[in-house]
Chain A
Amino acid sequence: MPSDGKTILEMRGISMEFPGVKALDDVTMTVSRGEIHAICGENGAGKSTLMKILSGVHPYGSFTGEVDFEGQPCQFRSIRDSERRGIAIIHQELALNQFLSIAENIFVGNEQATHGVIDWRKTEQRATEVMRRVGLPDSPNVKIADIGVGKQQLVEIAKALSKDVRLLILDEPTAALNDEDSAHLLGLMRQLRDEHDVSCIMITHKLNEILAVADTVTVIRDGKTVAYGDIAKEGITEEFLIRHMVGRPLENRYPEHTPNKPGAEVMRLEDWTVHHPIDTERKVADSVSLSVHAGEIVGLAGLMGAGRTELVMSMFGHTYGVGISGKVFINGKEVTTRTVSQAVHQHIAYCSEDRKRFGLNTIQSVKENITAAGLSNLARFGVIETLAETGIAETFREDLNIKTPSVNVPASKLSGGNQQKVVLAKWIYTSPAILILDEPTRGIDVGAKYEIYTIINRMADEGKAVLVISSELVELLGICDRIYTLSGGRITGNVPRSEATQESLMTLMTQEKEKVHR
């Protein structure tokens, strides 16, 4: 690893712990001046945490290890501190004000003013200057809402350049871009490197992009640095990256499960296409067809931005996306699932990946959460049989081993694992034919995970069809009978468990529609 005067950034022995999880464990990373450095790894490997440390979002003191930037040690307490030193981060979710102009956005917080009065001519002049550097031909007075996502990304970079950035961090910069905009952005990164002496760190799942533009690459797995290399010198290939990204140890135990002989087809999607709600040109799911049979546990694997959640939510009551087309079949009959109640009526159940936002009402009691989706079963003329309701809640508490002092306490009092069981109970109570579980074990401890797996197995054994979305390949390999892979909104594979390995799945998950050429 280079450590001469060419080094711009060195992070040594970085470790960080969140309650119960070791997010980063002795990570080391070096970036040289004037190079593009790529970081890759599975979802949850710790890439974002590392970048949050670098940009000061996780303040100095919340982690251990050292950060040296341009030869000076860094003790950032906020994003402002890191910006002052010339480090800028551009998040996947752009942070621009839609109602302000390009120029105004570029100088937000850094207004071109004399004695507190904004100098608009200077603002425009300087904006035009940095806009030219990023290749943005529009007028600086155009509103952000009126330009596309690709150009918005360029505005973010222009904003960073206006602050004399030395190191630019881009988190999944091309995830939301079309091919043309992606190519332009990658070209711009090269140009910044070659002509403006700006180093870049890019976090990306797109391995072909890494090989196309990056000079060096660090692979992170489970919070550890597992590989570092100079792409051209060492002839790094996609296979090399995949091999290092996967291969998580089998730390979670999985309950024994003999696969059921798949019964009749329960759910089938045909030609399902969904567009992004804001960027309506963009297809988030693209002619997806898949099917799940009774008694079968099917996995849906995909990296961040592959469109897994968007795919199922668009099907479940059209709760995501616009321009939705395609067919849903339940038990061989075509059905409409335009509203959630129609979907529930067709015995489809969907447990969201985001418990706090979409799964639970944490103010309401455990009991009220359990019966929330199946309340009509408990009501006569709109009046709830509250005693029967308590009985139902108690049954689920015992059945799923929900640890709570009482079913009447607010759901907020429960641990993550037990909250997840409450959400599962809610959907099991609707007697679904197909149970779609989105990241069912996210953020819960190992013991609770095992219990969730057991419940999933039981559901399959009872003849329900189960579709599991998970970021953890090991988990999918541990519990599923069959796994679909999704990349860029398209199904790229349909693999029986016996034939699937982490490597083969990752290869399918990173398969791109078109290659980006160097």
Chain B
Amino acid sequence: MNIADYLKGNLRQYGILGALVLIFIFFVVMSGGKLLNPNNISSLVQQVAYVAVLSIGMVTVIVAGHIDLSVGSVVAFIGAVVGQLMYTYHVGWPVAVLAALIVGLLVGAWQGIWVAIARIPAFIVTLSSMLLFRGLAVVTLGAKTLSGFPEEFSAISKGGLPKFVGTIDISSSALPTFFRGEADVFTLLIGAIAIVGLVYSSFRTRAAERKHGLTPIPLSLTVGKLVLLGVVIAFFTYLVSLSRVGTPIVLIIVAVLIVVYTFVQNRTVYGRHVYAIGGNLNAAILSGVNTRRVNFAIFLNMGVLTGICAVIVTARLGAATPTAGNGYELDAIAACFIGGAAVTGGVGKVSGAMIGALIMGLLTMGLSILGVNESWQMVVKGLVLLAAVILDLFSKRRSVLAEVGQR
């Protein structure tokens, strides 16, 4: 397999990654570099976090051939529970967070019973839940907005990791103003560890593949990928280290979830079964996959992630309101489809969904910086989603044609 073949085979993935880069560059240029302001970057991370967490769960739901329309309402409901617990019952924030996860699990079980056990289409079940939990959110809050939560709770979304190792002052006048300031050493350290880890694991995989008689992807490609990725990580780590908060806590939460769920999708029996069900349900059943159990687990999992999302959103708003999470389900679904998940199921990756989430977040941030009003932002996002799906369609048609041509 040469490089051209490899790139052709992964056209979709690189296409969407390229789109992300182009959109980023576009906004950097149009905003006169404002987007690169370290505080804007860390704020972007904080803004994207909620879609990222939801779409990690949503991509599994979509790969299995389902959909979840209720996550926005569930975010509001769990946010309401968390708010009431801290505001009215004065429970400590760690307990409230734990409660959020447990309520998420219960909500997931509720959906799971109907989708997996009663076999009602997820579209219907979650449409019902969308109304149900929005209503419960209002009831729980008594139609009020609760605010005034502990510092530590808000820090989950707004704060950063403590600057354990201190800062270094970078004020070389050769650098643009954005790139000067007090860099948090701990953030830089995390970035360095990430890069080293990436390089190490890439080469370990190559060695293992070779040991098992497999031909790894071309070395030049691996190196190229690593250099590119390394530069990008280094660049953003540097920017983030200059920001007021240092390493945002939500960045760590999202990063951990990405690593865990990538592993779950690629390496576990459960993950494999999700793809099997979505790719060919009949074949999965005839291979002995327990579809009930897998579908139930998918919705439990979505519930817990929605719980995490509710915590992040409530912390960020500093308030529990009945309208929280409005439209989040659509953001998450859009992120998955932009990231290459197939409407028909069987295809989709956490990494893709993350790129999709970033594109959506970047559009919001970039357009806001440019002063485009919210209505037009929606128009643009709608068109981008359509464009991504069209791109999908064309790359698929192309590969179908290529296949026919080969025969």
Contacts and interface: CB of A to CB of B under 8 A. Distances in A.
A363 B347 contact: yes
Contact of B287 (A340, A387, A390): A340
Nearest to A376: B269
Interface in B252-286: 266-270, 272-273, 275-276, 279-280, 282-286
B69 to A, nearest CB: 25
A340 B280 contact: no
B346 interface: yes
Interface in A385-415: 386-387, 390-391, 394, 405-406, 408, 412-413
B176 interface: no
B11 to A, nearest CB: 14
B118 interface: no
B269 A362 contact: no
A367 to B, nearest CB: 10
Given A358-B286, A373-B288, A406 B215 contact: yes
A87 to B, nearest CB: 32
Contact of A364 (B211, B213, B276, B288): B276
Given A340-B288, A382-B269, A384-B272, 10 more contacts: A340-B286, A350-B286, A357-B283, A360-B280, A361-B280, A362-B280, A368-B272, A383-B267, A394-B212, A405-B1
A384 B403 contact: no
A457 interface: no
A361 B212 contact: no
Interface of B: 1, 208-209, 211-215, 266-270, 272-273, 275-276, 279-280, 282-290, 346-347, 403, 407
Contact of B282 (A358, A379, A390): A358
Interface string A318-347: 010000000000000000000111011000
Contacts of B269: 375-376, 379, 382-384
A360 B279 CA distance: 9
A60 B22 CA distance: 50
A43 B282 CA distance: 25
Contacts, number: 94
A363 B275 CA distance: 9
A364 B215 contact: no
A382 B268 contact: yes
A383 B271 CA distance: 9
Given A387-B212, A406-B214, A361 B275 contact: yes
Nearest to A359: B283
B213 A394 contact: yes
B282 A383 contact: no
Using C-beta atoms within 8 Å of the partner chain, give the interface range for chain A. 35 or more
A30 interface: no
B4 to A, nearest CB: 15
A316 B282 CA distance: 13
A363 B403 contact: no
Contacts of A449: none
Nearest to A357: B282
Nearest first, the 3 closest Cβ-Cβ pairs linking A and B are A361-B279, A373-B287, A363-B279
A495 interface: no
A451 B273 CA distance: 30
Given A319-B285, A382-B269, A413-B403, A372 B276 contact: yes
A387 B270 contact: no
Given A382-B269, A383-B267, A383-B268, A358 B283 contact: yes
Nearest to A415: B407
A394 B282 CA distance: 26
A128 interface: no
A382 B270 contact: yes
Which of B215, B280, B407: most chain A CB closer than 10 A? B280
A190 interface: no
A340 B273 CA distance: 14
B358 to A, nearest CB: 25
B34 to A, nearest CB: 43
B205 to A, nearest CB: 10
Contacts of A382: 268-270
A391 B213 CA distance: 8
Contact of B285 (A340, A362, A368, A379): A340
B284 A361 contact: yes
Nearest to B286: A358
A384 to B, nearest CB: 5
B377 to A, nearest CB: 34
Contact of B286 (A352, A362, A376): A352
B214 A386 contact: no
Which of B267, B279, B347: most chain A CB closer than 10 A? B279
29 contacts: A317-B288, A339-B290, A340-B286, A343-B288, A350-B286, A352-B286, A357-B280, A358-B283, A361-B275, A361-B280, A362-B279, A362-B280, A363-B275, A363-B279, A364-B279, A364-B346, A372-B283, A372-B287, A372-B289, A373-B288, A376-B269, A382-B268, A383-B269, A384-B272, A387-B208, A387-B212, A394-B213, A406-B214, A406-B215
A426 interface: yes
A221 B215 CA distance: 48
Nearest to B342: A363
A379 B282 CA distance: 23
A69 B329 CA distance: 59
Contacts of A359: 283, 286
A414 B385 CA distance: 33
B287 A363 contact: no
Contacts of B283: 357-361, 372
Contacts of B287: 340, 372-373, 426
Contacts of B290: 339, 341
Contacts of A426: 287
Which of B212, B213, B272, B286: most chain A CB closer than 10 A? B286
A390 B268 contact: no
Contact of B346 (A343, A350, A363): A363
Nearest to A423: B283
A357 B282 CA distance: 7
A408 B205 CA distance: 15
Contacts of A361: 275-276, 279-280, 283-284, 346
A387 to B, nearest CB: 6
Nearest to B344: A363
A339 B290 CA distance: 9
Nearest to B266: A386
A19 B276 CA distance: 30
A361 B268 CA distance: 18
A377 to B, nearest CB: 11
Contacts of B346: 361, 363-364
A360 B407 CA distance: 20
Interface string A296-334: 000000000000000000001101000000000000000
A67 B284 CA distance: 45
Given A341-B290, A357-B282, A364 B275 contact: yes
A258 B267 CA distance: 44
A316 B214 CA distance: 36
Which of B209, B214, B270, B346: most chain A CB closer than 10 A? B214
A496 B103 CA distance: 65
A350 B286 CA distance: 8
